[in-house]
Chains A and B, each alone.
Chain A
């Protein structure tokens, strides 16, 4: 009570009290500001760390396409097909595939790109897109309107882009690039920079009645006069230069009779790479504006084998540079034999002045025979 009375009566120290009061208030305000800023900065740094983690997760994703990439082909009817896309998760984190893009390199129309969504509905969809780290031969089940089986046996070139939920995209050329087989296993012949592979689907044919390419080593049923087209798999094994095919490339089928050559040769010249079957889906080869280029192989680094890019060459017209369909010379519908020689005319390197012409002894074809 005495202290309060002295404080009320006394006049000394008021300025000190007021100053101290203001000082404390201002110090508190500044402290509050500092605390607020620290708080904000901490929240911001947490966000930065969180997003850095997101980026690290994205970089950790690594999907690899397994050869032959597409398997388990099935026809579902109603223009739908299914197949499996085989992948390996070589990354350190679980990866969720969000979308798959199929780009048909042979198709220049706006329909060349097919997008396949995650889910089970719609014409183009896939399931099983969740891939755990280290998982090998993981199969994504795809249902689509794309007939990839036909494309695969025709070695029709596609680009496959697999987009993940974190924003990475993994791509592969399809058919997957091949590596040289080991020594002693030689299912091919090399003539200059051209390699001709001898596997079952290296030589295919189509007709109006056989629109899906089928192996042409033996054509079990062929009606005389039916237009026919041949598909041949060729690889440019040069590691430096592309090859440009000229319109004179020809697939000569020499008819054999019991006494030898019958003097009949059916010559099929190269046609456009978008051709499917004769005569309606046969397009002239445009050597000037849309030539067929055989891309060069990529030199393998660090002792790895070279990467090779198989291409399909289509022969089907009777005159070079036209879309006039051609047929085999057969009289009656009975077994015939043909020896096939291919004449390859090309520029190497592409678009240079160096033109080559080589003859390729290739195959013998028998028609109208069950054996």
Chain B
């Protein structure tokens, strides 16, 4: 420590003048900075959360919007037309994951067919109507068939069993 410093330090420590002003200034600056930083972090978090949620919404809606599927043909075979074959084509711009098949508004638990349909692909879905609740039905019965995707799109229509 130099001679000058040796003289200044005790004087600074011993003197009580102007300390409150300095402390007040420092405290104010610290408070302002910390509050500002907190506000900045909070704002960034809120905006980030909003941005994330909105991003998920836009992304999900876009994926749903790109889905298009069409039931091309429904074919009834077997005794009492209990076996149904459904041909579904993916005519959208996105691959489709089949979520559920419904016959007369009742979900069919087991069916055979691809779970994923690529763009332009036709899927053949075979199912057997359980007994009950959907039996009996006969020739020329009109059947309400729905195909639902995992993203929530549903394509449906009425089909008539052959005479």
User: What residues of chain A have their CB less than 8 Å away from a CB belonging to chain B?
Assistant: 11, 14-15, 18-19, 21-22, 25-26, 29-30, 33, 36-37, 40-41, 43-44, 47-48, 51, 54-55, 58, 98-99, 101, 103, 105, 108-110, 112-113, 115, 161, 163, 165-169, 293
Give Cα A22 to B34, complex, Å.
11
In order of increasing CB-CB distance, the 4 nearest A-B pairs are A167-B70, A167-B91, A22-B36, A163-B72
Q: A51-B65, A163-B72 are in contact. List 12 more A-B contacts (CB 8 A).
A: A18-B29, A18-B32, A18-B36, A37-B54, A47-B66, A51-B68, A58-B91, A101-B87, A110-B78, A110-B83, A112-B75, A112-B162
A113-B75 CB under 8 A given contacts A11-B25, A19-B32, A108-B162: yes
Q: Of B4-12, B39-47, B103-111, B144-152, which binds chain A?
A: B39-47
Is B89 a contact partner of A163 (Cβ separation < 8 A)? yes
Q: Is chain A's binding surface mostly helix, strand, loop or mixed?
A: helix
Is B47 a contact partner of A161 (Cβ separation < 8 A)? no
Contact residues in B for A54 (Cβ distance below 8 Å): 68, 92-93
Is A293 a contact partner of B163 (Cβ separation < 8 A)? yes
Is B68 a contact partner of A110 (Cβ separation < 8 A)? no
22 contacts between A and B (CB under 8 A): A15-B32, A19-B32, A22-B39, A26-B40, A29-B43, A33-B47, A37-B54, A44-B62, A51-B93, A54-B68, A58-B91, A98-B89, A99-B122, A101-B72, A101-B87, A113-B73, A163-B73, A163-B89, A166-B91, A167-B69, A167-B72, A168-B70
Tell yes or no: B116 within 8 A of A by CB: no
Tell yes or no: B55 within 8 A of A by CB: yes
* Contact partner, B75, options A11, A51, A98, A103, Cβ 8 Å: A103
Cβ distance B127 to chain A, nearest Cβ, rounded Å: 14
Is A19 a contact partner of B36 (Cβ separation < 8 A)? yes
Give Cα A326 to B145, complex, Å.
45
> 1/0 contact trace for B70-102 toward A, CB 8 Å?
101101011000010101010111000000000
Q: How many residues of B contact A (CB 8 A)?
A: 39
Tell yes or no: B135 within 8 A of A by CB: no
Give Cα A58 to B155, complex, Å.
15
Is A36 a contact partner of B32 (Cβ separation < 8 A)? no
User: What residues of chain B have their CB less than 8 Å away from a CB belonging to chain A?
Assistant: 25, 28-29, 32-33, 36, 39-40, 43-44, 47, 50-51, 54-55, 58, 61-62, 65-66, 68-70, 72-73, 75, 77-78, 83, 85, 87, 89, 91-93, 120, 122, 162-163
A113-B85 CB under 8 A given contacts A51-B68, A108-B162: yes
A169-B70 CB under 8 A given contacts A29-B47, A48-B65: yes
Give Cα A115 to B123, complex, Å.
13
